[in-house]
């Protein structure tokens, strides 16, 4: 399948079968997309010669490869909900402001230790394992985070394995000691900050109802200064209230953060929910952001925006590309009482409880359902150009919006496709600069 698209005055061809990206002139783009174009015999001859050359090289109209999802029975990652409590009361929180529609509680070390044992026991021959500390707010249970890290490292070393740790935090409790611990032990740290003060404070409020921006931004700045070249992301959420979210991303970049992500909200609160009527503006915002992103990169003032990072050259193998995110099969969430869910977005919904790390149980039927869910079980994805990049979307979003993990939600599809086109443009502009 060939996807022809324009970005301002640039014309691109993405070949789904080979995964290659090309640029072309307007007439070639028109010809390939079947649009009526005025093209001379000579031009047509040259275009056809280019097409035939690329076809012969397997880079255009390449047959989509037969691929099968990875049939791994190894567990490689866990999300530990060390705290189902939070020191913020963000309006849009998918996790019910930290409580996950249940009681506010924290995970005991006994449970986190059992989770580490569960992961090690079920990790087969895999050498590198991953744990992310999540909440609620995981720093409300820092002692258990620390003890879990030290325990996991010790046990992994005995088996010749290694852990990579990630923490997602709102930053409110960051202090010097925690920053040092994070820099020593965390492979990645994700810090929540929505952008401009008025945008952040409108939704991310403390328990007392005050905006958290002023406190949080200073703490996150301090953390990033001490972080050096280790991975981190400052991650924001945009809602229907800030559809001009490119301003928030650029605000964060101007504040000195160089590794950024901005995600559409997952909520059913009417005034915050992203709806179909917002789509045109959101697509325009991605372009606005992309233009500035390319400009800053050309000026040597670039930053990293997570969604403009599509890796066409060194990305994952085909098996991974059709296997989706791995939730419910090789990745699970563990909540404070030790119950296992496919991922954090399913946590607390008893329908999706898969077992318990304390009991050492895992529902084989549910796991099979997730293991078999892949690009090919998502019928709508068959004729989509983005399928080998997005892998059929998020199981949880699919379920929450369409009632089925295999039915992609059209809104997230549309946003994903736009981001991928922007990412391809970013890559093309970067390659052009490198040539010069």
In the region spanning residues 210 to 269, those forming contacts with another protein, defined by CB under 8 A, are: 233, 235, 259, 261, 263-264, 266
Strand pairing category for 361-362 and 355-356: antiparallel
Contact mark string toward another protein, 401..430, x via CB under 8 A: -----------x--xx--xx---x--xx--
19 is a contact residue toward another protein (CB under 8 A) = yes
With CB under 8 A as the rule, give the number of residues binding another protein. 83
Phi and psi at 168, nearest 5°, equal -110, 120
- Contact yes or no for 77/330 (Cβ under 8 A): yes
Which residue lies nearer to another protein by CB, 210 or 368? 368
One residue of 394, 405, 411, 413 binding another protein per CB under 8 A: 394
- C-alpha span between 284 and 289 (Å, rounded): 9
Strand pairing category for 77-81 and 331-334: parallel
334 is a contact residue toward another protein (CB under 8 A) = no
Which residue lies nearer to another protein by CB, 8 or 209? 8
- Contact yes or no for 235/190 (Cβ under 8 A): yes
Residue position matching structure tokens 């000579």: 42
Share of the chain residues as helix, strand and coil, in percent rounded to the nearest 5: 45, 20, 35
Considering only 74-82, 139-147, 207-215, 350-358, which stretch makes contact with another protein by CB under 8 A? 74-82
Closest CA to 264 of 166, 410, 386: 410
Length of the chain: 436
Contacts of 300 (CB under 8 A, 6+ apart): none
One residue of 7, 16, 18, 293 binding another protein per CB under 8 A: 18
116 is a contact residue toward another protein (CB under 8 A) = no
Instruction: Please report which residue ranges of 94-141 form alpha helices under DSSP H.
Output: 109-121
- Residue 43 three-state SS: helix
133 is a contact residue toward another protein (CB under 8 A) = no
Which residue lies nearer to another protein by CB, 236 or 355? 236
Beta carbon of residue 247, minimum distance to another protein (angstroms, whole number): 19
324 is a contact residue toward another protein (CB under 8 A) = yes
- C-alpha span between 73 and 234 (Å, rounded): 33
390 is a contact residue toward another protein (CB under 8 A) = yes
One residue of 7, 16, 24, 114 binding another protein per CB under 8 A: 24
Contact mark string toward another protein, 159..198, x via CB under 8 A: -----x-x-x-------------------x-x--------
35 is a contact residue toward another protein (CB under 8 A) = no
């Amino acid at each position: 399948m060939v996807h022809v698209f324009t970005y301002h005055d640039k014309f691109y061809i993405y070949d789904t079968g080979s995964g290659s990206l090309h640029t072309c002139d307007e007439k070639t783009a028109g010809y390939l997309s079947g649009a009526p174009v005025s093209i001379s015999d000579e031009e047509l001859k040259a275009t056809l010669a280019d097409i035939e050359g690329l076809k012969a090289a397997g880079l255009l109209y390449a047959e989509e490869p037969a691929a099968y999802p990875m049939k791994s029975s190894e567990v490689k990652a866990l999300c530990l909900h060390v705290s189902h409590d939070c020191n913020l009361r963000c309006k849009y929180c998918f996790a019910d402001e930290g409580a996950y529609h249940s009681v506010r509680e924290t995970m005991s070390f006994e449970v986190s230790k059992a989770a580490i044992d569960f992961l090690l026991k079920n990790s087969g021959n895999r050498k590198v394992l991953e744990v992310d500390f999540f909440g609620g707010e995981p720093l409300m249970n820092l002692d258990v985070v620390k003890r879990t890290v030290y325990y996991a490292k010790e046990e992994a070393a005995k088996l010749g394995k290694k852990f990579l740790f990630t923490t997602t935090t709102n930053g409110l409790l960051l202090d010097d000691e925690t920053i040092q611990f994070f820099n020593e032990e965390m492979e990645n740290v994700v810090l929540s900050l929505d952008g401009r003060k008025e945008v952040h404070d409108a939704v991310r409020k403390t328990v007392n109802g005050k905006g958290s921006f002023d406190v949080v931004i200073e703490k996150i700045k301090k953390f990033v200064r001490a972080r050096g070249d280790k991975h981190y992301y400052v991650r924001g959420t945009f809602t229907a209230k800030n559809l001009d979210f490119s301003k928030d991303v650029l605000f964060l970049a101007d504040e000195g953060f160089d590794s950024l992500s901005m995600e559409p909200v997952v909520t059913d609160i009417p005034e915050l929910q992203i709806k179909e009527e917002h789509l045109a503006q959101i697509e325009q915002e991605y372009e606005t952001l992309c233009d500035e992103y390319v400009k800053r990169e050309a000026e040597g003032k670039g930053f990293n925006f997570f969604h403009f990072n599509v890796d066409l050259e060194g990305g994952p193998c085909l098996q991974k590309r059709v296997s989706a995110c791995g939730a419910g099969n090789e990745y699970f969430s563990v909540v404070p009482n030790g119950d296992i869910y496919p991922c954090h977005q399913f946590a607390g919904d008893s329908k999706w409880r898969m077992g318990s790390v304390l009991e050492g149980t895992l529902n084989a039927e549910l796991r099979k359902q997730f293991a078999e869910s892949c690009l090919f079980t998502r019928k709508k994805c068959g004729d989509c150009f983005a399928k080998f990049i997005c892998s059929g979307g998020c199981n949880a979003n699919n379920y929450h919006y369409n009632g089925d993990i295999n039915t992609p939600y059209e809104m997230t599809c549309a946003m994903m496709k736009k981001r991928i086109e922007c990412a391809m443009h970013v890559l093309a502009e970067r390659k052009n600069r490198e040539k010069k």
